Amino acid sequence: MIERKVIYSQMVSLDGYIEGPQHEIDWGKPGEQLFRHFNEQEKVFDTHLYGRKTYENMRDYWSERGQARDASKDEVAFARIWNEIKKVVFSNTLKKVEGNSILVHNDIEAVINQLKEQRGKHMSLGGATLAETFMNLGLIDEYHLYIHPILLGGGRRLFPSLRAKTNLKLIDSKVFDQTVVMLRYTPIKKHTKEEG
């Protein structure tokens, strides 16, 4: 059985921010080549893992953007794919979720380990707050970082203060639209004596 992975993808400025000082994210709008890559990437997922804020933002935007008259072909394609994929939403404040979404209030680690044991495609992780929890629990199998040629000078950092050091191995890199560099990393797992 193929290993089912949790993959964290994030747009990031060259100085390490995912949002500007006023929470702006418009600097990370993908060009045509990168957008096509994202649409292809969605095909390897059958589950999105979100916190409340990211779920609500993605739901509100993509439920309407795919129907907009000025939407590009890539946007229409992404909206269709995104709406079809199952969502698992981790929140202690939400009372309900919509469509093919599942709401989870209990132990994140137990839920993810259970999902990893099931047959299926990979799972994408969205949202910096939830990602911080996943990082500290060692639940992320791959990091896909899309580095944009901009210095924001402040805002929300990509990586928060973590409990422990994590060594990463570069497994792939690409350049999109001659501007955005994608770096793909996997954590280097420590072997126990029993594993050799």
61-107: per-residue pLDDT in tens? 888 887 888 888 888 888 899 889 999 999 999 989 988 999 998 88
Nearest to 16 by CA among 139, 150, 175: 150
Q: Report if residue 196 sits inside a domain.
A: no
Specify the number of domains making up the chain. 1
84 assigned to some structural domain: yes
144 bridge partner residues = 9, 184
Q: Are 122 and 2 in contact (CB under 8 A)?
A: no
Three-state DSSP class for residue 103: strand
Q: Answer yes or no: are the C-beta atoms of 165 and 135 closer than 8 Å.
A: no
Q: What is the pLDDT of residues 94-153, one digit of tens each?
A: 989 988 999 998 889 999 999 999 999 999 999 888 999 999 999 999 999 999 999 999
Is 78 domain-assigned?
yes
**Position 113 in a domain:** yes
Q: Could you tell me the two tokens for 2?
A: 């193929």
Distance CA 73, CA 63 (A): 15
Helix (H) or strand (E) holding 133: helix 128-137
For residue 193, being part of any structural domain is answered with: no
Residue ranges making up the domain that contains 133: 6-187
Place of tokens 């929470």: 23
Q: In this structure, is residue 195 part of a structural domain?
A: no
CATH number for the domain that contains residue 55: 3.40.430.10
Whether residue 111 is contained in a domain is answered as: yes
Q: Amino acid identity, residue 85?
A: I
- Residue 81, domain member (yes or no): yes
Orientation of helix 73-84 relative to helix 52-65, angle to 10°: 130
